[in-house]
């Protein structure tokens, strides 16, 4: 019997959400204290707990069949792997930042400057594409302090809220790439392992769809139903049930999280009342 080997980050910004994703897919991972390998109780997968930087390489070499890692790491490491899905967590960006009081007019600023980063490959590509001749100082961590201690003129690092830059007297001036957690896979997965992967992806997409949608129930006069159906297309079309009160009915449908408030306003204008919105746990299309 085959087992799909999955690499996730042992501890860090990706670990908790990666574990939670498996839990939501009904896959139980027990917390092997200190162990680097965990076998799931009820699904044919084995979880390898690794440093995020090593995950692309291990997936390329098929030490792991698939892995969860930041898009920024996948792009920096340039390993030969397939990118399967974006997972919607650990959103961030790779940006250039300079001391806050320096004038900035454009990327020419970096000409003949020294820039500290843990992403020399991506930064090198960015400078090459703009014909900018800058010196890249590779650091493995604490990049933000480099300008303050005179090690570099600017930095290129991951930003999410931006507060680390502010704390260190820096200002974000260019975004090199946007990133989030992604699922990568070895290019040669076949046979039984592929079937397990397809099952896993099916579950993950159901969880993702559920997160991105809400179930909506509302009451409406029959005369308004046509307009309301246009506002709420639903998965196929809304379910319409008659109410005990004559001339009224109840509509059930699904609405996208990011369109939610706009749709609610339109529904109220069209005559909808008693609107209930309920989270969806799993959504199979
Ligand atoms: O030990 P290991 O090597 O496994 O982990 P790590 O320390 O290298 O990585 P980790 O856990 O810090 O980050 C893993 C991944 O999370 C990254 O590769 C990104 O894809 C993603 N991610 C999301 C982030 C951030 N947000 C983030 N804010 N990675 C790092 N940061 C750091 C950033 O380097 C900077 O120091 O947080 C600081 C900036 O945060 P703000 O909120 O102040 O802007
Ligand atoms: Zn790392």
Q: What pLDDT, on the 0 to 100 scale, is given for residue 70? A: 98
Contact in structure between 95 and 174 (CB atoms under 8 Å) = yes
146-185: per-residue pLDDT in tens?
999 999 999 999 999 999 999 999 999 999 999 999 999 9
Residue 178 CA to ligand 2 center (angstroms) comes to 17
Q: What pLDDT, on the 0 to 100 scale, is given for residue 32? A: 62
Per-residue confidence band for 11, with pLDDT thresholds at 50, 70 and 90: very high
Residue 120 CA to ligand 1 center (angstroms) comes to 16
Contact partners, residue 65, CB within 8 Å, separation at least 6:
4, 5, 6, 59, 185, 186, 189, 193, 197
The answer to the question of residue 285 being in a domain is no
Clarify whether residues 141 and 168 are in a common domain.
yes
Q: How far apart are the C-alpha atoms of 56 and 187, rounded to whole Å? A: 12
Per-residue confidence band for 133, with pLDDT thresholds at 50, 70 and 90: very high
Summarize the confidence of residues 223-248 as an average pLDDT.
88
Per-residue confidence band for 40, with pLDDT thresholds at 50, 70 and 90: confident
Clarify whether residues 143 and 191 are in a common domain.
no
Clarify whether residues 85 and 99 are in a common domain.
no
Pairing, β 170-179 against β 92-99: antiparallel
Summarize the confidence of residues 135-147 as an average pLDDT.
97
Residue 51 CA to ligand 2 center (angstroms) comes to 6
The tally of domains found in the chain comes to: 3
Least confident interval from 29-33, 66-70, 121-125:
29-33
Residue 205 CA to ligand 2 center (angstroms) comes to 27
How many Cβ atoms from other residues are within 10 Å of residue 132's Cβ? Answer: 16
In this structure, the residue with its CA closest to atom 7 of ligand 1 is 12
Least confident interval from 37-41, 51-55, 148-152, 155-159:
37-41
Q: What is the pLDDT of the chain when averaged over all its residues?
A: 94
DSSP symbols for 38-63: EE-SSSSEEEEEE-GGGHHHHHHTTS
Pairing, β 66-70 against β 4-9: parallel
60-105: per-residue pLDDT in tens?
999 999 999 999 999 999 999 999 999 999 999 999 999 999 999 9
How many Cβ atoms from other residues are within 10 Å of residue 101's Cβ? Answer: 7
Rg (C-alpha) for the chain, rounded Å, is 24
CATH of residue 145's domain is 3.40.190.10
Clarify whether residues 105 and 165 are in a common domain.
yes
Residue 1: pLDDT over 90: no
Residue 44: pLDDT over 70: yes
Summarize the confidence of residues 42-50 as an average pLDDT.
94
Clarify whether residues 79 and 44 are in a common domain.
yes
Clarify whether residues 83 and 195 are in a common domain.
yes
Q: What pLDDT, on the 0 to 100 scale, is given for residue 154? A: 98
Per-residue confidence band for 36, with pLDDT thresholds at 50, 70 and 90: confident
Contact in structure between 238 and 251 (CB atoms under 8 Å) = yes
Instruction: Tell me which H or E stretch contains 256.
Output: strand 248-256
Q: How far apart are the C-alpha atoms of 252 and 273, rounded to whole Å? A: 13
Contact in structure between 208 and 98 (CB atoms under 8 Å) = no
CATH of residue 262's domain is 3.30.70.120
Range of the domain at 250: 213-279
Q: How far apart are the C-alpha atoms of 280 and 7, rounded to whole Å? A: 28
Summarize the confidence of residues 41-60 as an average pLDDT.
95
**Domain final residue, candidates 131, 163, 178:** 178
Q: How far apart are the C-alpha atoms of 192 and 201, rounded to whole Å? A: 14
What's the Cα-to-Cα distance from 105 to each of 108, 124, 157, rounded to whole Å? 8, 20, 20
How many Cβ atoms from other residues are within 10 Å of residue 11's Cβ? Answer: 10
The answer to the question of residue 49 being in a domain is yes
Clarify whether residues 65 and 203 are in a common domain.
yes
Clarify whether residues 61 and 185 are in a common domain.
yes
Q: What pLDDT, on the 0 to 100 scale, is given for residue 31? A: 67
Clarify whether residues 186 and 74 are in a common domain.
yes
Q: What pLDDT, on the 0 to 100 scale, is given for residue 6? A: 97
Contact in structure between 272 and 224 (CB atoms under 8 Å) = yes
| Ligand 1 atom with least separation from CA of 13 | 11
The answer to the question of residue 284 being in a domain is no
Ligand sitting nearest the alpha carbon of 14: 1
Query: Side by side, which strands form the sheet with 248-256?
Result: 239-242, 248-256, 213-221, 273-279
Whole-structure pTM value: 0.90
- Enter the tokens of residue 233: 């297309």
Q: What pLDDT, on the 0 to 100 scale, is given for residue 285? A: 83
Clarify whether residues 84 and 198 are in a common domain.
yes
The answer to the question of residue 173 being in a domain is yes
The answer to the question of residue 198 being in a domain is yes
Q: Is 91 helix (H, G, I), strand (E, B) or coil?
A: coil
Summarize the confidence of residues 198-218 as an average pLDDT.
93
The residue whose CB lies within 8 Å of the most ligand 1 atoms, and thus the one to mutate among 36, 141, 158, 182, is: 158
Q: Where are the beta strands (DSSP E) in 107-238?
A: 114-117, 135-138, 154-159, 170-179, 181-185, 213-221
């Amino acid at each position: 019997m085959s087992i799909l080997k999955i690499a996730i980050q042992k501890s860090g910004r990706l670990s908790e959400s990666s574990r939670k994703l498996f839990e939501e897919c009904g896959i139980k991972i027990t917390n092997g204290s200190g162990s680097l390998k965990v076998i799931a109780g009820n699904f044919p997968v084995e979880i390898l707990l690794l440093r995020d930087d090593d995950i692309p390489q291990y997936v390329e070499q098929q030490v792991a069949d698939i892995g969860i890692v930041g898009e920024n790491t996948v792009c920096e490491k340039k390993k030969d792997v397939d990118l399967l899905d974006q997972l919607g967590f650990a959103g961030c960006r790779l940006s250039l930042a300079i001391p806050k009081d320096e004038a900035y007019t454009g990327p020419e600023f970096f000409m003949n400057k020294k820039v500290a980063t843990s992403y020399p490959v991506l930064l090198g590509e960015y400078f090459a594409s703009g014909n900018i001749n800058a010196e890249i100082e590779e650091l493995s961590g604490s990049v933000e302090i480099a300008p303050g201690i005179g090690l570099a003129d600017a930095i290129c690092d991951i930003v999410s809220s931006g507060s680390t830059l502010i704390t260190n007297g820096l200002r974000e001036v260019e975004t090199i790439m946007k990133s989030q957690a992604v699922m990568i896979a070895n290019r040669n997965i076949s046979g039984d392992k592929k079937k397990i992967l397809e099952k896993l992806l099916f579950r993950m997409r159901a969880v993702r769809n559920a997160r991105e949608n809400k179930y909506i129930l509302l009451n409406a006069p029959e005369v308004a139903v046509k307009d309301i159906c246009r506002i709420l297309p639903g998965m196929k079309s809304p379910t319409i049930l008659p109410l005990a009160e004559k001339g009224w009915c109840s509509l059930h449908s699904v609405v996208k999280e990011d369109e939610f408030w706009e749709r609610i306003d339109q529904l109220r204008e069209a005559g909808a009342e008693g609107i209930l919105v309920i989270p969806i746990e799993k959504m199979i299309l």
